[in-house]
Each structure stands twice: as structure tokens, then as C-alpha cells.
Amino acid sequence: MKSKFVKFFKYLIVTLLTLLVIFMLSHQIVYWQQKPNSREGTIGANAMVVSAHPLASEIGNKILKQGGNAYDAAIAVNFALAVVYQQAGNIGGGGFMVHRQTDGSVGSIDFREKAPIAAHQDMYLDEKGDVISGLSQEGHLAVGVPGTVDGMVQIHSKFATMNWADLVAPAIDLAEKGFKLTSQGAVSLNSSYGSFEDNNHKEITVLAQDKWEEGNHITFPDLANTLKLISINGREGFYGGSVADKIVAEMIKSDGLITHEDLNRYSAVWREAIETSYKGHKVITMPLPSSGGVSLVQLLKGAEQIDMAQWDHNSTSHIHYMTELQRRAYADRAEWLGDPDFVEVDVARLTSPDYIQNRNSDIDAQNKTDSQDIKPGAVSTIESFETTHFSIVDKWRNAVSITTTLNGMFGSKVVVDGAGFFLNNEMDDFSVKAGVANQFGLVGNEKNSIQPEKRMLSSMSPTILEKDGELFMVVGSPGGSTIITVVYQSISNVIDYGMSMQEAVDAKKTHSQWLPDVVVLEKGSTNLSTLGNLISKGHIPIPWPMFPFGLGRVNAILVKDDGSLEGAADDRAEDNFAAGH
């Protein structure tokens, strides 16, 4: 009976897709393949910053002009984004940094959020053991212990050259004096208005008017005061004193779990970066608890063994083989990966050429592999996401690749009363129940289960590449579960298809993640012939026009042959901006 149902479901999907194609043709809807424009990004001779907002990029570039290094600029950019890009830039969330120093030494820091001490494995389940919808995604119980401020403090202590207060000052200025909302900024605020009301029974700045418009001037006085305390007191300005008191008071009001002990005990962790090679390029990427590095290595090594470049970009075979590699990498993510401080993960085996070759040995050129044959599971949806990435290179060729997040857009939607910043909803990145998907459609098991002070698994993939021993590329992207595939394609577009960094970022992308058993196609990624060929191989292609920014919003830097820097800001998000000199 189950087999008949599955066959009927697949028949129904194919029929619906056929009708969709007919509809597109009859209504002259242009969905088919668009070649990337032949263009370069912003060129700088000395240094470059690419971030999610023009004001943040310009602040970073100014720090570099003043003689600061990439780490100084990263701290300034991060705090600026916490003001002007609050849907993802934050002091109430966390993230990861991969870095490369001018002498070639590399490393990473994990300032990912942690589960509170009082958290437990079944905290989002009802008495029947079923997941309580939305409980891990909005409100106070969804919040993990923030890591961003501690991460910035540790980066400053280890690598920075400028005074801490001078690096926080531009963000204070933005919050205190205010800035004009961009069109994207206004849309983001308006789209979450109802959630802000539901989760904040107090006066908050973003509810000051019913509808925000481009050009509106907005200030954040409470956030400015919080940043001043961080500027004066460093780590203690956030994890202690009045700000910590306000965080804890906010938790108590609505059954949140974070305590003073949680804040006192939080510490970012310096970790050894994952290193691999791809067609003569050294790849430096993020280790666990970011799954991005392991999965990216699996994709790159698999593509190298297959020689992905033998097929035209976004041709049937190109998309088919990428999809097959992606499904296996995401199935491994669900099965094997978790916080390395809590679970044992054999990263060396999972990223070894022999394992990857064997894992991909059953790929069929003519037919897709059913996700149920790769690994059983069930999930029904991929939802929206909000993260931010910025890339920085200084005149000494220090390089920083940082991805930070609140998880969903504006995180838990909760603003700390009197402190003025949004708190994350990172608890949803745990496997709240084995086999049940999170908001990004990602499935996990016991390895990513909730435990006190455990870090939740992430898809963030900040990455740096070298060529012939010299800095070559700095890359990363927001995009929830799509981050890994988007970063892979951006790298491949440059190395395999000879694109400029901007062309690689602009190029239309595809995504698959094991479950759901579909291929997501960004508008313009394919043509009708390729669409039909994919269906004939058994794939279920899903057009992706519903998400306004497309797949990913890559911010990347490429070192050109003449030594200059090409900053590529992804136009899928209109506020992305490259600033260099």
C-alpha cells in the first residue's frame, strides 16, 4: 500500500510540474536559464570589505584606511550590523569565523550559542511526545545563550591592533544618531510586525509606527546604551552588570531559561580549521559544530572525483550530479554530525577521499537516487531563514570570513526590555525530536539533541581559499540549509567555470538537501529542456520564485592575478555592498 501511495504521489508531482510548464509558456512567464552578466565586482588595490549593508561596509573600509587590520574591521562591521541589519546582525546571537593571517597561518573561532543549563532533550514536546509547533522558533524559550560579544572580545584580544572602544564607537553613533532605512530594511521590519507584537508586551523601537518606509529615520537609544557599556567594559558589559540583569529579567517574565550562571559560563572556542584541497587550491573552512565545513569538503571532493567541470554550467548532468552529491552530504549531516564537545564525530573518515568515493559510487548517470534509499526519514518543508556573512581582506592580506545569525529573521522576535537588542531562536537548530525537521527542513538525531550547554549544529560555512600558497578567495553566505550548496557553487563557478567573483556570485543556483526529496531551482537557473530532462531522471524540481532574494546572498572577495581585490556583493539582497580602496 505504501509503495502504491509513493508511486501515485510521484505521478501527481510530475503531472503538476507538467501543468506548471504549460502555464508558464501560456502566460509567457520567463523562468528559464539566464546566463550571468559578464562583469566584475568592486575593485580595490589594497583592502576590501563586503557585507550585508552599505553603512557597515563603509565603516569597515574606514577602519582599514585608518591602519586597522582585517580583525579590527571585522569587529567594527559586526557591531555596525547589529544596529543597521538587526534581522541577522546581532549581539544577541552567535556565529563563526575562519581566518588566515598574512604569514599563512589559519584557524577559526566558534562563538555559536549554547543551550541554557536548564535545557533538556524533551523541552519542546507535549505529554504525548509530539513537537509543540513554534515553541522552538518564537518567544523566550527558543533562545540560546548568546556568543557574539564574547567572540568579538576574544578576536580583539588575539589579533586586533586598534582600541576596543574605537571599534565599537561607529555602531554607537549609528544607534544613537540614527540612520535612514533602506527599502530592504523597511520591508524586513514590516514583514515581522505581527510577530514583534506577539512576543513583546512592551514598547520597542520597531513598533514605533505601523508601517516603515524607505528613507525613514530610525534610532535605537536602548541599544546605544548597551553598546556603550560593551565599549567601556568589554565582555562584562554584556555578560555582567545591568545588561545581564536585563537579559535574565526578560527570561523570567516569559518562562525563558537563561540565567546569570549561563551568561557567566559562556565562552567562545578557538578550533582548528578543516583543511582540504580542490583542484590545486587549498580550502580552509569551519569545523564542527558547524556542519558547513564537513559537508563542503564532501561536496568539493566528490565534485573533484567526478570532474564536475566536464559538463556545461547548469546543464542537466551538472544539476543532476550536484543534486546527488548534495543529498548524500546532507544525509551524512543528519546521521553523524553534532557538537564535538559532546559527541564523537569521525571527521577524518567522513572527509577522506576513500569514504567520499565509496559514498558516491552508486550515483547513476541516468536516474536519481531516491532519498529514502540514501537514508530513511520524513520532512515536509523548507522555510525562510536569515543569517549574514561578511568577508574582509586588509593590505597585509590578513583575511577574515565571518558568518553570524539569530537563526530566523529577527530570531525569537524578542527584544530585551531596556537593552534594545533581539535575541536569537537558535534552539530550533537542535534536533528537537529525532527525525523531525527544523524550520529549514533539516533533520537530525541524538547527536544533535538538546543537552545543557551544548552547541546546536549549524550550516554556516565561512571559507577561505589559497592558490599557490597565497590568499585566493574569501567566501560565505547566509541562507539556512542552502548555505553549504551556495558556497560550494560559488567556489566551483570560479575554479571550474572561469567566472569572475561577481559572475560566480550572480550565477543562478540550485539546491537539494536529502529531504525533502526535491531539487530547488532558482529562477533563471535552467531552461525548459533541462527541466524536462531532470524530470525524466526522476527528480522533482521545485521553482523558487517565492523567496525574493533567491538562493543565498554571497559576499565574497577574490584576489585577482594582478594582486588587486575583487569584492562581490550579492545583488539578491539589494543592501549587500562592497567597499574597498
Residue 5 CB contacts under 8 Å (≥ 6 apart), including other chains: none
Closest CA to 431 of 206, 162, 131, 229: 131
Residue 145 CB contacts under 8 Å (≥ 6 apart), including other chains: 113, 114, 115, 116, 258, 262, 263, 266
Q: Which three cell numbers stand for residue 19?
A: 501543468
Kindly provide the residue ranges of all beta strands, DSSP E only, lying in 300-434, ordered along the sequence.
386-393, 399-407
Catalytic-role residue among 182, 387, 403, 485: 387
Question: In sequence order, what are the beta bridge partners of 271?
Answer: 108
The DSSP line for 84-128 is H-TTT--SSSEEEEEEE-TTS-EEEEEE--B--TT--TTTTB-TT
Q: Which three cell numbers stand for residue 235?
A: 565582555
Q: Tell me how far the alpha carbon of residue 98 is from its chain's centroid.
A: 14
Q: What string of H, E and C letters represents the secondary structure of 281-318?
A: EEEEECCCCECHHHHHHHHHHHHHHHCHHHCCCCCHHH
8-state DSSP, 48 = E
Is there a catalytic annotation at residue 323? Answer: no
SS3 content of the chain, % helix, strand, coil (to 5): 40, 15, 45
Burial class (CB in 10 A: 0-12, 13-18, 19+), 86: buried
| Size (the chain), residues | 581
Pairing assessment for the beta strands 519-521 and 541-543 based on DSSP bridges: parallel
Q: Which residues are catalytic?
A: 387
